[in-house]
Amino acid sequence: MLEIKIAGENAIIIYLSEQVSEHTIDDIAFFTALLKQELANVIIDVVPSYTSLMLSYRLDKIDHDTLCHQIRKLIETNTIMIKMNQTEVVDIPVLYDSDVALDLAGYLHEKSLNLDTLIQLHTERDYRVHAVGFSPAFAYLGTVEPRLVTARLSTPRIQVPAGSVGIADNQTAVYPIASSGGWKIIGRTPLDLSLTNPDNINLFKLGDKVRFRSIELAEYLALGGQI
């Protein structure tokens, strides 16, 4: 919600929410400081409230319409960044084992890594959804730690098992269904990410965060994973 109303000859009220919440309080504090900083040459004062800000400005420096336009641009642009930072993390359990990872042994040799180091490097960071591919549940995630960067297979496989976790260039991804592909497979998740589950249609959205979590064989099997 963003609504701007006239509050006097040289004053406006900026409504950021209809309800008081921790997020709203944080937003009020953030935008109070932001507007004071970015519009310092035209405003007189900014007074925060529970869900709104009252801003008074200098009529000799700026007119109402121009001010409102600048405020909307500042708030809308920074709201996108705030929401990205507040995005919930999608947790994906992964079994890193050659029994389910088609390229794991060769990949470890190629990168001169042991399994523990690979797992640490692949699971220690949150990945952003950079794009969504052939399926709403196929998310291009980046970026991987530089030591994990690798080229795609020279010849793509005709079929990669569903749930396979792969790396190609500086991105990582999970195959939601069995399909062809050239990513190097380093693990597999037992989660069903196919669109037979309608919840997966909106599982990954641009800017979302994804975190991989290493699991043992027993948990993998308990969660429905197949060898």
Q: What is the pLDDT of residue 97?
A: 98
Residue 52 burial (CB count, 10 A): 20
Q: What is the pLDDT of residue 83?
A: 57
Stronger pLDDT, 34 or 79, i.e. the higher one? 34
- 69 plus 97 within the same structural domain: no
Dihedral over Cα of 213, 218, 221, 226: its sign: positive
3-state secondary structure of 99: coil
Angle CA(108)–CA(104)–CA(147) in degrees, nearest 5? Answer: 40
- 137 plus 210 within the same structural domain: yes
Q: What is the pLDDT of residue 152?
A: 96
Residue 227 inside a domain? The answer is no
- 62 plus 166 within the same structural domain: no
CATH number of domain containing 164: 2.40.100.10
Q: Could you read off the pLDDT of 120-173 as tens digits, one per residue?
A: 999 999 998 888 877 768 899 989 999 999 999 999 999 999 999 999 999 999
Q: What is the pLDDT of residue 23?
A: 73
Instruction: Give me the domain span that covers residue 195.
Output: 89-222
- 41 plus 114 within the same structural domain: no
Stronger pLDDT, 28 or 163, i.e. the higher one? 163
Stronger pLDDT, 116 or 209, i.e. the higher one? 116
- 98 plus 158 within the same structural domain: yes
- 128 plus 183 within the same structural domain: yes
31, 15 contact by CB (below 8 A)? no
Residue 204 inside a domain? The answer is yes
Q: What is the pLDDT of residue 103?
A: 98
Beta bridge partners of 181: 157
Residue 85 has pLDDT above 60, yes or no: no
- 108 plus 163 within the same structural domain: yes
Beta bridge partners of 11: 8, 56
Question: What length is written for the chain?
Answer: 227
Residues 6+ apart with CB under 8 A from 223: 93, 190, 191, 215
- 105 plus 116 within the same structural domain: yes
Stronger pLDDT, 122 or 198, i.e. the higher one? 122
3-state secondary structure of 201: helix
Residue 77 has pLDDT above 90, yes or no: no
Q: What is the pLDDT of residue 80?
A: 59
- Residue that terminates a domain, selected from 65, 86, 107: 86
Question: Cα–Cα distance between 200 and 182 in angstroms, integer?
Answer: 23
- 121 plus 200 within the same structural domain: yes
- 18 plus 65 within the same structural domain: yes
Q: Could you read off the pLDDT of 53-68 as tens digits, one per residue?
A: 999 999 999 999 999 9
Cα atoms in the 13 Å half-sphere on the side-chain side of 145 = 14
Q: What is the pLDDT of residue 59?
A: 96
Q: What is the pLDDT of residue 86?
A: 55
Q: For 195, which DSSP code? A: T
**Average pLDDT, rounded, for the chain:** 91
Q: What is the pLDDT of residue 84?
A: 56
